[in-house]
Structure 1
Amino acid sequence: MDVIASHSMEAASLPGLSILWAHWLTAQDLNQLVHHPLLRSLERNELSLAALKTLLIQHGHYSRHFTRYLCALMGQLERAEDVLALMENMREEMGVDGQGRVTHAELFQRTLHVLGISNADEKPLPETTTMVKTMLAHCQNSDALAGLAAMCLGAEAIVPLIYRPIMQALVQKGYGDEATEFFSLHIEEDEGHAFTMLAILQRLVNGDEKRRESATRIGHEMIECRIAMFDAIWQQSLALAASESGSRDRESRFSSSDFWRVPSRLQARLPDRLCHPQVMQATHGHDATFSSQRKHKVHIVDLPSHAISMTVGRLDPAETTRLHRHNYETMIYIMQGDGYSRIGDQKVPWSAGDAIYVPVWAEHQHVNTCEGECVYLACENAPMLQNMGGIALREELDV
């Protein structure tokens, strides 16, 4: 099986994705999209309401031009029947499909109104503006293939993958049908529009592999534009969260002059989150960065603990961690696999079910010696040192 076929099968296996998209959308593009930390945070109801509002406003800046995209595309089609086919989409957008609906733009404005926001609250991000301009440029291309690829592969086909997490987050935050109707309607209808466009696209390609590759490149470009917008919103949300966290930290820090504030009894304070679902399947915002630095896969357990941290490490066959040391203690439980650790000048063998201890500042490295993947759980007291004044240290000893 060649690489393209393999990727096509992976793409078709994504939940909710028809096998018809197997030759048009790559698994890499779709995985980048569905596993984007912004969308995963929406699914887990971990994205702040402020960040959700920013996402909706930025999407509004993009989607308010939808009829312009569609009109520009229809202007490039040569066959009257193709124009009529896309007019079905236009009628639904404009609320003139004979079912007495309001326009989709009005439905989206209802969502914004329920959340107490409007497009005027925030300017379009540069990435949002780029997505609008790129989509419009493709739809205005005299070769209708470009606009069809952009609209079909870069918008209509991927709507369910984007709108479901948004709708899920709105429901989890207590919003009702008035806020979610726009998204539920598009999830139901847009796949049909996508298939209509795909039929025209396939006819324009007419078996020409270069034309098909051109279409997939345009689809890839539009997905990259959307991911860039998501990246910008996600980074903005992280900066806001860090700022708010810093403010809370400053308010909760104590000095010698606060000694009189020591209470006489404990009080349980339950945080908002007590569970991190499916740690190894979910994508934490910093997993990729940390794994890249460590040079092996690491999943960070994201829970509001103040004294201990927990991570799940994974080593492929014959893979090793970097040689490193740190000034916090570590206890490691081997969940799967066999191997050994170099701790100081000792070689410590281990297998599934064993637990090992790494003392403070001892050089150490973990090695997988089995034929399968090794998985281990590491618990450390790094947060305690960080909260005592930022005195947790880690040093990499190899490159």
Structure 2
Amino acid sequence: MDLRHALLETTKDTLIRRIRSNGFVTRCRDGQVTLDELKRFLVQQGLYSAYFTRYLCALMSNLPSNHEVLELAENLFEELGLDGNVKSTPHHLIYRNMLGRFDLTLQDAEATPGTLALIDTMLWHCRHNNPAFGLGALCLGAEALVPALYADVLAGFKACGVPSEDVDFFRIHVECDDGHAETIRDIMVSLAKDDDAQMEIMLRAGRTLVDARWNFFDDLASPVAARFAALAAA
């Protein structure tokens, strides 16, 4: 295995362990989370996820060649339900339908400070004219975390008696985001091949996004998040 590839995999595993040690995620995995907490998560995660196509498009605009753009475009088409599968549904619609099963909506929902910071941090990295920032953020700080992170979230919903079909958005992403992370990882290895400084930028970006995501989860326990969830359910 290429040394850069190995370094990215080791860092990915470290960041996954770190985010899974967050109190909210731990309570999900252990079946101790409450349904009210999960509803707060659904609203705030929905506000963050609503920007996902913008993250992708911003990063794609800074990639060095059309080859890399086309590789990431597959992820974008999947998000938009344009991947060639006649049964594909845009992911934002899957999320909206999932929210509806809990009588929640993102309309007029307010983001907590942690959610706003996570959105701003991801957008800043993806918009940077050096694509190493966006690649590290989107891979190590998002896509690479999803299978393990969402599996823990699904365990929390299961413990609260929620049928798996009611949270299909998370199940879909557990199954597909490993491939997305691998696509971005391969671009990262290629970009760093002639410049080791790029690798350090990518690793630092991943750590920065995991820190922002940690604060995002911590904010779910705040009274502010509870008030915002109540407004979303009104």
Task: Please state which band the TM-score falls in when normalised by the shorter chain.
Answer: 0.7 to 0.9
**CA distance, structure 1, for counterparts of residue 115 and residue 8 of structure 2:** 25
Higher strand share: 1
User: In structure 2, how many angstroms separate the alpha carbons of the residues matched to 1:142 and 1:199?
Assistant: 19
Distance 1:181-1:20 versus aligned 2 partners, 3 A rule: farther
Percent identical: 32
Gaps of 5+ in 1: 6-17, 241-399
CA shift, 1:112, in A, is 0.8
8 Å contact from structure 1 (residues 159, 190) kept in 2: yes
The equivalent residue for 1:84 is 70
Question: For residues 60 and 46 of structure 1, what CA distance do their matches in structure 2 show?
Answer: 22
Q: Is 1:47 aligned with 2:25?
A: no
When residues 23 and 212 of structure 1 are mapped into structure 2, their CA distance, relative to the original with a 3 A threshold, is farther
Per-residue CA distance 1:161-188 (angstroms, 9 max, x = gap)? 2211111222232322442211111111
Following the alignment from structure 2 to structure 1, what is the Cα–Cα distance between the partners of residues 209 and 155? 24
Q: Structure 1 counterpart of 2:58, which letter? A: A
Instruction: Provide closer, same or farther for how the CA distance between residues 203 and 19 of structure 1 changes in structure 2, counting only shifts above 3 A.
Output: closer
Aligned partner letter, 1:226: R
Paired position in structure 2 for 1:156: 143
What are the residue-to-residue correspondences of 1:228-307 with 2, within 5 Å?
Answer: 228-236=215-223
Structure 2: how far apart are the matches of 1:48 and 1:19? 38
Aligned 8 A contact 1:170 1:179 in 2: no
- Specify the code of the residue in structure 1 equivalent to 2:203: T
1:195 is aligned to 2:178: no
How many residues align? The count is 223
Q: Secondary structure of 2:12's partner? A: coil
**Distance change in 2, residues 1:23/1:170 (3 Å):** closer
The one-letter code of the counterpart of 1:53 is K
The correspondence of residues 95-110 of structure 1 with structure 2, limited to 5 A, is: 95-99=81-85, 100-110=87-97
- Tell me, what secondary structure is at the counterpart of 1:97? coil
TM-score by length of 2: 0.87
Asked if structure 2 preserves the Cα contact closer than 8 Å seen for 1:37 and 1:234, the reply is: no
In structure 2, the residue matched to 1:38 is 24
CA separation in 1, counterparts of 2:194 and 2:13?
19
- Map 1:1-399 to 2 at 5 A: 21-25=8-12, 27=14, 29-99=15-85, 100-120=87-107, 122-206=109-193, 208-236=195-223
1:123, distance to aligned residue in structure 2 (A): 1.0
Measured on the aligned residues, the alpha-carbon RMSD in Å equals: 2.4
Give, in angstroms, the shift of residue 58 of structure 1: 0.5
Alignment gaps of 5+ in structure 2: 228-234
